Amino acid sequence: MMNYKTLFLLPLLLLMSNCKTQSQTHTQTSDSKTISIEINKKITIPNSKISLEFKEIVEDSRCPVDVTCVWEGIAIVNIDATNGNQKTNFKISNQNLEDKNITRSVTVSGYKITWQQLKPQPGGKEEPTVVTLKYEKE
C-alpha cells in the first residue's frame, strides 16, 4: 500500500523524467560569425551577395523573463534570403520542430544559417525585436 509521500512524489518524478537535458556542441571555426537583424530590416552577409531580411515572428511561446518554466518554449521567425535575383524564404526556430518541418539551421546559397537568439524575451525590457543568426560558409 502506497503512503502519502509516495503519492506526492510520484507525479513530480514523472514530470522530471519527461524533461530532456539539451547538450549542444558548438564547433567554432575561424570563419563562423553572427549577424543580428531587426524586424523588417535587411542585412547582407559580409563578403557575400546574400542578404537576409527578418520578415516576422511566426510564433513565440518562450518562457517570460523572471518566470520559472519547465519548458523553454518555441520561437519561430520568417526570413527572406536574396542572392542576386534568386529569392528564398525560410522559417528558422530555437528548436528542431520535425512536425512543422522547421529546424535550428538551414543552408542558403552555400551558407549554413543557424539560430542563436531572439530578443526581447517575452516580459523583458522594451527593445527592438532582433534575431541573431550564425553564418558559416559551407
Which of 103, 108, 115, 117 shows the shortest CA–CA distance to 137? Answer: 108
Task: State how far the Cα of 53 lies from the Cα of 38, in Å rounded to an integer.
Answer: 8
In a domain? residue 4: no
Task: Domain of residue 102: give its range.
Answer: 31-137
In a domain? residue 88: yes
In a domain? residue 5: no
In a domain? residue 7: no
pLDDT less than 50: residues of the chain = 1, 4-30
Length of the chain counted residue by residue: 138
Q: Which amino acid is at 10?
A: L
The pLDDT assigned to 31 comes to 54
Backbone angles phi, psi at 40, to 5 degrees: 65, 20
pTM equals 0.75
The pLDDT assigned to 74 comes to 97
In a domain? residue 86: yes
CATH number of residue 36's parent domain:
2.60.98
In a domain? residue 8: no
Which of 101, 117, 128 shows the shortest CA–CA distance to 34? Answer: 117
In a domain? residue 9: no
Chain segment 94-122, per-residue pLDDT in tens: 999 999 999 999 999 999 999 999 999 99
In a domain? residue 41: yes
Cβ neighbors of 118 (< 8 A, separation 6 or more) are 57, 60, 62, 75, 77, 94, 129, 130, 131, 132
How many domains does the chain fold into? 1
SS3 19: coil
